[in-house]
Amino acid sequence: MSEENVEALRAAFENVLAGRSDFGAELLDPEVEWDASDIAALDIGGVYRGAQAVRQFWREWLAAWETVQFDYELVEAGDRVVALIDQRMRGRSTGIEVPFGKYAHVYTFRNGLIVHWKGYMSHSEALAAAGLRE
């Protein structure tokens, strides 16, 4: 299942980059836990529980930005996928370009659905959390 998880996540990322989706709602387990508590730059940080709460997280985050662009690499780690990201945005109300920089996500899958997500402020932290090394 691990390669399928990587490819499903890649499709979700590509949909976001193409402006077609908030983020892979079809991949979310109904009881998903979304942990944005360690991403200090987010004013909507915290832990969100349930697919509806995660969709609200994405609506709030994306509402602030006219554009969100990023480069990414997905790394398979068993039932987890690590997303290494370098992101930049343009403010909706200001038009100012904002380099968010490098950060990472760790997605835990069960039966093809995301059951847990955690954001990290560095690639190395995320890789270590998934049992990998940079």
pLDDT tens per residue, range 79-125: 999 999 998 989 888 999 988 889 999 999 999 999 999 999 999 99
Residues 134 and 128: their CA atoms lie apart, in Å, by 8
For domain 2-18+29-129, give the CATH number. Answer: 3.10.450.50
Count Cβ atoms below 10 Å from residue 37 Cβ, excluding itself.
13
Domain boundaries, the chain: 2-18+29-129
Strands 113-120 and 28-35, sheet pairing: parallel
pTM: 0.90
Give residue 1's pLDDT: 57
The encoded tokens of residue 59 equal: 């609506």
| Cβ-Cβ contacts under 8 Å for 104 (sequence gap 6 or more) | 82, 83, 84, 85, 119, 120, 122, 123, 125, 126, 127
